Amino acid sequence: MIQVVADSNVYISAPNFGGVADEVLALGRRQVIALFVAVVTADEADNRILECAVTAKAHLIVTGDNHLRTLGRFRSITIASPREFLDARLWEAE
């Protein structure tokens, strides 16, 4: 099963706006992907999400954060938007 860290933007957007963020969380609820939470407050640096992904041995970080997305990858972990993640359908390759 693919392991994914979703940042707080995804969790906040899903119930408020639905759409692709909610689709990502739905995959976790259906246990199609192993979903991990990275909780970050406004004062914490983006590296908290990166640390969470490394600890979780995640394959992917799903985020709407532009600072993280510009990295593209961190170590061997891909960083993608919710739409990029859903379009790639990586869980089907498992």
Are the CB atoms for 49 and 5 separated by under 8 Å? Answer: yes
How far is 84 from 6, CA to CA, in rounded Å? 13
Neighbours of 89 (CB within 10 A): 9
Distance (Å, whole) CA 94 – CA 65 = 26
| Residue boundaries of the structural domains of the chain | 1-64
* Cα 64 to Cα 81: distance, rounded to the nearest angstrom: 5
Q: What is the pLDDT of residue 49?
A: 84
Residue 6 β-bridge partners: 37, 62
What predicted TM-score, i.e. pTM, was given to this entire model?
Answer: 0.60
Q: pLDDT 10s per residue in the chain (94 long)? A: 999 988 877 887 888 888 999 999 999 999 999 988 765 544 466 778 888 888 888 999 999 888 888 888 887 899 999 999 999 988 888 6
